[in-house]
Amino acid sequence: MELKNYIDHTLLAANATEEQIERLCREAKTYGFYAVCVNSSYVPHAKASLKDSRVKLAATIGFPLGATSTEAKVFEARLAAKEGADEIDMVINIGFLLDGKLKSVKEEIAAVKKAIDGRILKVIIETCYLTSDEILTASKLVAEAGADFVKTSTGFGSRGASTNDVKIMKQAIGDKIKIKASGGIRDAETAREYISLGADRIGTSSGIKIIS
């Protein structure tokens, strides 16, 4: 298992600068990470920095709260794809899920997937705010809506991923779609544990430390 092939090298801080985004991309190319993950406003800058490399570019949508309108998420996702994002990491409307508006949650995911013209869609369900049953329900919804990954966390909630989250997600989706574990993963041992439980991608700002 080469950990570098699982890592989305991530910088999503509110105070991230263009210089820091450039450094993130240089590091991803140097260490051979699978992708970088940035806020959508930095997609053009990151795309230019990743030119002539195999590193994929992921952009966050409706981040980090997930509470923007479906129309806003669709527009943001479509623009990010047009500007060069290979993958989209969107946040569900968590309040809608908790209110039982499951149809609305599912339709929003499907609308974003349709807008990005076949690109990879990862859907963040923010497990820190959900019960085990709600994680199960949300994960099934993500799969049914046609997304490619269900993702644990933004890293901005009350906690990041847990091994129990990933176990529940795997129980819900089986091999229908993939899992991205993110939030609080800072060492190789933890990353390997998540992968052994079924995670196909690891989102982290500690990628260099993990593979070193």
Kindly report the CATH number assigned to the domain that includes residue 190. 3.20.20.70
Residue in 47, 56, 73, 89 annotated catalytic: 89
0.95 surpassed by pTM: yes
Report the chain's C-alpha Rg in angstroms. 16
Is 82 known to be catalytic? no
Question: Structurally, how many domains does the chain consist of?
Answer: 1
Residue in 29, 47, 151, 178 annotated catalytic: 151
Is 151 known to be catalytic? yes
Is 99 known to be catalytic? no
- Please answer whether residues 21 and 38 qualify as being in contact, where contact means their C-beta atoms are separated by less than 8 angstroms: yes
> What residue numbers bound the domain in which 114 lies?
3-211
pLDDT in tens, 95-146: 999 999 999 999 999 999 999 999 999 999 999 999 999 999 999 999 999 9
Q: How much is the pLDDT for 1?
A: 80
pLDDT in tens, 61-90: 999 999 999 999 999 999 999 999 999 999
